Amino acid sequence: METTGLEPFIQRLIIMMSEAPTIFAQQYEMDSCLKTVLLVVFILGVSFFPHAGTTSEACSLNCRCSSENVNYDVVCPTFIPQILPSNTHLVEVTNIINKYSINRHDFNSASWTSVKVLRLSSNTHIEEVEENAFGNLTGLERLHIHFTYLTILSPFAFSGLQNLSLLNMSENGGIRFTQLSKALSVPNSLQNLQELILVGLNRDNPGESIDYAFFKALADKPLRYLDLTRAFFTVIEVDSFSNALADTIQVINMSHAFSIWSVITPRYENLFPNLEIFDISYASIPWMKTSVGVNLGLSYFDCHFPFVRANQLKLNAILDSIEFEVRLNGETRAAAGCEREIRKRLEFSNNNLVWLNRSFSPNFLTYQEVDISNNGLMYLGLNITGHLSELVWVNLSANRLSYMEQYPEFERLFQINVLLEWLDMSANGLSNIPRNLFQKNTRLKTLILANNKLQGIVFEITHLQHLELLDVSKNTIAFFDNFAQSSFESLSSSNFGGNGTVFSVQFTDNDLLCSCETVSFVRWFVTTDVMIKNRDVYTCSLNKEVVLIDTKALQRTEYQCEQTKIIITAVCTSLVCLGILALTIGFVRHVCRRRRKIERIRRLINKYRIANPPNKYLLFLSFCSKDDDFVSQYVIGELRHRLQERLPNGEHLVCIGDQDFELGRFIIEEIIKCIEASSVMMFIISNAFCESNYCEYETIVAQFDRKPTVLMFREDVEPKKLPKVLHKHFNQFVRARWMHDENVYTLKPDWDKVCDSILELAGKSLKGKSSHEVELK
């Protein structure tokens, strides 16, 4: 049926009359004739617009309506609709404008009685919730009020809400605890309240305290959930907190809360017997820091301590503002009445806890899940893990447990935790995990070792029959060796007797290498049936190029290896051939050199045999007169005797200046004459020799005549004292020296080698070669 432009008006009129025709007529003071006309219009409207009664002002304007079965959800921006569709279940009004208060007239229509969930929010204008504002919402179960500038809350604002189970007053920073206490304490009001959410409450009134009146207002209500996240208190009276709340409380959330001061008594009996979760993470509450934080480890601990018996205790970052490192050692005295109760979870992350080896009561450490991550923890003692026999889940990430690698007890850290199923040791700087660290943890399902410095898998995992995930991503792994590959294959293929476990491994973000050294790993990666997480994103470095690890990468790696083998074989063969050639050449040269040496000596001997020596003297012996006694006793006699044995026909083999110089002639002339008449020079070096001008002159003449030279050191002489012309000989050629031990002088090398060298040097001069030296063999 097509509608005219009057349809919306008629629809609106019909709805209004259908809900309250008598009130409508009275309001506009209509006479009986007009009433009759309106009644006719109503009948015609129902006839021509049979669905008009199922719509409303809310759905015909800017609101968004949706239905599920017979229930409606209505979401309106900026305004509160007066009339709702029938059976409306949820109403949400966002960013309300042009209103300064919420009152009972906003929900006066009978169509509001079916609403169970109401959410109201505004960033502007609304400053007050008036008396009995929600009195007509008799079916309301969940109420959310979020008004940025709300400052006035009537004590009777919630009157009539007998079925309300959840009240959310979050982000109403202008409301005071005193106002809220009065509104909650009205008799016969909010009798069914189970959840109270006050996130960010009181932030604009820092002078307010949370006291007995506030908690007393909640005492007669079956409250299960209390959320004070980011709430602000000047003083929190913990006595009131603990004694006034009902035993029904199950969850208390005070995370990120702030208090300047707190008052607490030291002991409580049977406190919150049904408490499931207590969360003060990131809270700044003096009592929490001193009592829960410090007393927990530094002095005295009591199982009756407030909130400590919660099934889940969350104490994250409660000590983060402490400037010193927290180190817990020794023992903590526990109350004798501490009963053993298995608890769900303990969280103590971000508390600057670097050392934890305190012995607690075994009846206290009964948690199944423990989170002590992000502490910089360096040492975790067996006193802790040894008592956590019920441990199933543990998070040790973002610590410094690599420090424990130097301690033998590190390998026994989890030996008591046989029920452990989930373990996170990521970001600990670990480089060497003990081989049997997880020996007793046969129920382990998830093992996270990511973001460490591991270079491979060197610890046993094949016995972990239920392992589903091994995460070693973000380490320094270049490849997995045969031990790791076989471990993965064993976990994957056996399926452990059909228990349904599917093993997978993840090692992304490692510097994997595709090379000849790792080709077996690349081949395993491409062909294995092991489930590798994100298999299609793994890359490796191949010839300084980053490539995906796939069949093509394997082929390229194998080809590179074959080429490398060919090159290595060719190079090795060439080197072997060159080595053989070099040895052959060296051997031939050695033989030739030896033959030449023998030939020179033979020719020299023949010269002396036929009385035709090349020079008058075989050797000119140069020494300082201060060394005359030593030379006469140890050198001249033995030298002449040894040379005479080799040259039996030689007469003047050794020239000695003082004995062979002619009298009456210039010393310089005699030195030159005798050196020129000698085949070889021998200098007896001593400190006195280095200081003698005549000795230095003899070295100059020998150098000028290019005479072969043999150096014989009587004693240790600093090289810088030697005559300059002998520096080259000293640095390049082998020299003889006398060793003095207990008044006994020994020549090294012996006289035979010295004399052979003299003969060889003299033999070289037969061809006129200018060789200066020969090594003493």
| DSSP, residue by residue, 291-308 | IIIIHHHSSB--TTSTTT
Share of the chain above pLDDT 70, in %: 79
Q: What is the pLDDT of residue 548?
A: 95
Q: How far apart are CA 760 and CA 337, in angstroms?
A: 104
Structure tokens at 455: 């270079």
How does residue 535 score in pLDDT terms, banded at 50, 70 and 90?
Answer: very high
Assess whether pLDDT exceeds 70 at residue 263: no
Q: What is the pLDDT of residue 271?
A: 64
pLDDT top residue among 30 and 502? 502
Q: What is the pLDDT of residue 261?
A: 62
The answer to whether 675 and 702 are in contact (CB under 8 A) is yes
The answer to whether 618 and 679 are in contact (CB under 8 A) is yes
| pLDDT tens sequence across 636-645 | 888 888 888 8
pLDDT top residue among 344 and 58? 344
Among 655, 652, 661, 763, smallest CA distance to 708 is for 763
Q: What is the pLDDT of residue 294?
A: 47
Q: Report the Cα 570 to chain-centroid distance in Å.
A: 45
Q: Please give the C-alpha separations between residue 454 and each of 457, 626, 631, in angstroms, as whole numbers.
A: 8, 73, 72
Map residue 206 onto helix, strand or coil. coil
Q: Which residues contact 555 (CB under 8 A, 6 or more apart)?
A: none
The answer to whether 477 and 445 are in contact (CB under 8 A) is no
Q: Which residues pair with 738 in a beta bridge?
A: 747
Q: Which residues contact 640 (CB under 8 A, 6 or more apart)?
A: 653, 654
Assess whether pLDDT exceeds 80 at residue 771: no
**Of the listed ranges 419-433, 524-538, 714-728, the one predicted with least confidence:** 714-728
Q: What is the pLDDT of residue 606?
A: 81
Give helix 519-527 / helix 551-609 axis angle, nearest 10°: 170
Structure tokens at 482: 């045969």
Q: How far apart are CA 617 and CA 640, in angstroms?
A: 12
**Of the listed ranges 140-144, 347-351, 572-576, 723-727, the one predicted with least confidence:** 723-727
| pLDDT tens sequence across 121-169 | 998 889 999 999 998 998 999 999 999 888 899 999 999 899 999 999 9
Q: What is the pLDDT of residue 269?
A: 53
Q: Please give the C-alpha separations between residue 184 and each of 132, 177, 705, 746, in angstroms, as whole numbers.
A: 13, 10, 124, 113
Amino acid at 296: L
Q: What is the pLDDT of residue 146?
A: 92
DSSP class of residue 753? Answer: H
Among 399, 358, 402, smallest CA distance to 375 is for 399
Q: What is the pLDDT of residue 165?
A: 96
How does residue 316 score in pLDDT terms, banded at 50, 70 and 90?
Answer: very high
Map residue 277 onto helix, strand or coil. strand
Q: What is the pLDDT of residue 741?
A: 83
Q: What is the pLDDT of residue 300?
A: 44
pLDDT top residue among 575 and 609? 575
Q: Where in the chain is the domain with CATH 3.40.50.10140?
A: 613-767
| pLDDT tens sequence across 193-223 | 999 999 988 766 666 667 777 888 888 889 9
Q: How far apart are CA 653 and CA 678, in angstroms?
A: 9
Q: What is the pLDDT of residue 534?
A: 92
CB-based burial of residue 184 (10 Å sphere; 0-12 exposed, 13-18 middle, 19+ buried)?
Answer: buried
Q: What is the pLDDT of residue 56?
A: 55
Ramachandran category for residue 295: left, alpha or beta (phi over 0 → left; psi -120 to 50 → alpha): alpha
Question: Which of 600-609, 694-703, 759-768: highest mean pLDDT?
Answer: 694-703
Q: Which residues contact 629 (CB under 8 A, 6 or more apart)?
A: none
Q: How far apart are CA 711 and CA 726, in angstroms?
A: 9
Q: What is the pLDDT of residue 25?
A: 40
| DSSP, residue by residue, 557-600 | HHHHHHHHHHHHHHHHHHHHHHHHHHHHHHHHHHHHHHHHHHHH
Q: What is the pLDDT of residue 61?
A: 63
Q: Which residues pair with 327 in a beta bridge?
A: 355
**Of the listed ranges 230-234, 481-485, 684-688, the one predicted with least confidence:** 230-234
Share of the chain above pLDDT 90, in %: 37
Counting DSSP H helices and E strands in the chain, the numbers are: 21, 35
Assess whether pLDDT exceeds 60 at residue 266: no
How does residue 526 score in pLDDT terms, banded at 50, 70 and 90?
Answer: very high
The answer to whether 192 and 164 are in contact (CB under 8 A) is yes
Please provide the average confidence, as pLDDT, over all residues in the chain.
82
Ramachandran category for residue 182: left, alpha or beta (phi over 0 → left; psi -120 to 50 → alpha): alpha
| pLDDT tens sequence across 3-31 | 334 444 444 444 444 444 433 444 444 45
How does residue 52 score in pLDDT terms, banded at 50, 70 and 90?
Answer: very low
Amino acid at 219: A
Assess whether pLDDT exceeds 50 at residue 609: yes
The answer to whether 592 and 564 are in contact (CB under 8 A) is no
How does residue 50 score in pLDDT terms, banded at 50, 70 and 90?
Answer: very low
Rounded mean pLDDT of 348-353? 91
**Of the listed ranges 102-111, 446-455, 469-478, the one predicted with least confidence:** 102-111
How does residue 764 score in pLDDT terms, banded at 50, 70 and 90?
Answer: confident
pTM passes above 0.85:
no
**Of the listed ranges 222-236, 318-332, 746-760, the one predicted with least confidence:** 318-332
Q: What is the pLDDT of residue 101?
A: 92
pLDDT top residue among 212 and 588? 588
CATH C-level class of 613-767: alpha beta
| pLDDT tens sequence across 74-100 | 999 888 998 888 889 999 999 888 889
